[in-house]
Amino acid sequence: MAGKPKLYYFDGRGKMESVRWLLAAAGVEFEEEFLQTREQYEKLLQGGSLLFQQVPMVEIDGMKMVQTRAILSYIAAKYNLYGKDLKERALIDMYVGGTDDLMGFVLMFPFLSAEDKEKQRAVIVQKATSRYFPAYEKVLKDHGQDFLVGNSFSWADVHLLEAIFMVEEKKSDVLSGFPRLQAFKARISSIPTIKKFLEPGSQRKPVPDDKYVETVRRVLRMYYDIKAN
């Protein structure tokens, strides 16, 4: 019997958080090793564990997987969250890709200056409410089903719910003009595995703080400032 997946990343969200969400949605227990020092990171590099010299990295089924999208695709397929046929898989990929684009505006947020954070907050809300949320609202309206693809729970639903929570942290009423997304959020959040992940004490990470940012900068030797979009 294979052991639990093991996640190598920082003690914070970043690109690994979507992996945590998807494993949790599938009901899969996982272990984590948090990178806190440059020495830990260099040990992984020297041991050949990081194919492209970067994290996230996940040990699963005898593999050391890097590249977040590849990790997520594998988990989705392994745990039947990737549609029933090629067409459904293509739709899931399309919706996940759109959600990834929106998440990208949020992921950089903790590394911005105070001034740039306020600018980026406005960008995040504008992109969410004018481009991405209207698209998903239309998808749900057009097919009238509970889930984004094939009327069954999939990776696309997990990813969108994660993005909704991320944007709501920047503007709490951001879904006020999207009734179907409001219902979607309530519906997906009530799925037992998701509900458990959203409860205190789970492996879901909090909003990134200064300690997280400092750790990432130190371990990765980031000596430059990220600029807002």
pLDDT per position as a tens digit, 152-169: 999 999 999 999 999 999
Per-residue model confidence as pLDDT tens digits over 3-60: 899 999 999 999 999 999 999 999 999 999 999 999 999 999 999 999 999 999 999 9
Whole-number pLDDT of residue 51: 95
Whole-number pLDDT of residue 222: 80
Amino acid letter at 224?
Answer: Y
* CB atoms near residue 50 (< 10 Å): 17
For the entire predicted model, the pTM comes to: 0.95
pLDDT at 69 over 50: yes
CATH 1.20.1050.10 fits 86-190, yes or no: yes
Question: How far apart, in whole angstroms, are the C-alpha atoms of residue 168 and residue 170?
Answer: 5
Contact 110, 208 (CB under 8 A): yes
13 - beta bridge partners? none
Q: Where in the chain is the domain with CATH 3.40.30.10?
A: 6-79+198-220
Q: Where in the chain is the domain with CATH 1.20.1050.10?
A: 86-190
Averaged over 221-225, what is the pLDDT?
69
Domain 6-79+198-220 CATH class label:
alpha beta
